[in-house]
Amino acid sequence: MSKKVKNLSEDNLSRLNRIHPATNVAFNIMLAILALICFTPIIFIFIISITDNNVIKQQGYQFFVTAETFSSAAYEYLWSQRATILQALWVSVYVTVLGTAIGVMLTAVMGYVLSRTEHKLNNFLTILIFIPMVFGGGMAATYVVNSQILHLADTMWVLILPLAVSSFNIVISRTFFRTTIPDSIIESARIDGASQWTIFFKIVIPISKPVLATIGLFLAFGYWNDWFQAKLYISRDELRSLQSMLNQIQSSMDYLTKNPTALLGDSAALRNAMPAESARMAIAFIVAVPIACIYPFFQKYFISGLTVGAVKG
């Protein structure tokens, strides 16, 4: 009898959770529209980047490109700067990969320590981590510390270390470790004689892929899109990141466009032929596409990491 009742309850539950085909179609259409809305700006930027600059000046932005309005001048201009761009691309990739690895490791270690309630300095360290979320030292103090005290200016480390750890990421990892990893697992490992490092690397890390992927994605976005650190601390061209170098190219184009008397003769003709508007869009497209291609590989873990602390039913 109990088995029959159980089967009936399961059937009722599955019936309640069943989605009507019409509702499913409506949801799919709505999600497709939202995805198209999110993807349209990237398409629009690419279309503008392959549109003739004179057409943009005369007719403004257009969503469709024809054979008459098509122009590859923006990418040809950036191709003429390929040696500098490739060097900057290598710097950005190096900083993003190394910085993300360092940041994820440091954040995971600090989050795990704060998640252990038996730690004697837990409350003190939690307050210490929370303070930077509310108060900041200011740009002047940060610049003095990084350049004058730590002597990080004009080194690759100034692009990595200041962005490696944030209080927000530490709080996320602490919440994940505290709500996901049972204390019984940790206690069993201790009884078997495992050290804290063994517990962390062989037990905690393997079951923490969602939060590690989420933090890694946050850090990768931050490192890849950062140009301000290079603007503040880097004066050597070979250490400039892709975003910083492209921002410099865009600033140079803005200067030449707004100051026509700055150049004379053939240089002025070069300025007039420079695809300023389409080149800006080409720069934005080049910067956005690589990091956007990485997101699908982390989507599953990213969604799991965002639900840290959610109510489980």
pLDDT single digits (tens) 117-168: 777 777 888 888 888 877 777 788 888 888 888 888 888 899 999 888 888 8
> Distance (Å, rounded) from C-alpha 270 to C-alpha 46?
24
Res 95: pLDDT: 92
* Among candidate residues 287, 275, 285, 276, the one with its CA nearest the CA of residue 251: 276
Res 70: pLDDT: 83
Please enumerate, as own/partner, the contacts of 79-82 that have beta carbons within 8 Å and a separation of 24 or more: 81/249
Least confident of 1-15, 54-68, 136-150, 198-212: 1-15
Is residue 269 packed enough to be buried (19+ CB in 10 Å), middle (13-18) or exposed (0-12)? exposed
* Among candidate residues 234, 30, 244, 66, the one with its CA nearest the CA of residue 143: 234
* Among candidate residues 240, 256, 251, 283, the one with its CA nearest the CA of residue 79: 283
pLDDT single digits (tens) 60-81: 777 777 777 888 888 887 888 7
Res 17: pLDDT: 59
* Among candidate residues 251, 249, 253, the one with its CA nearest the CA of residue 273: 253
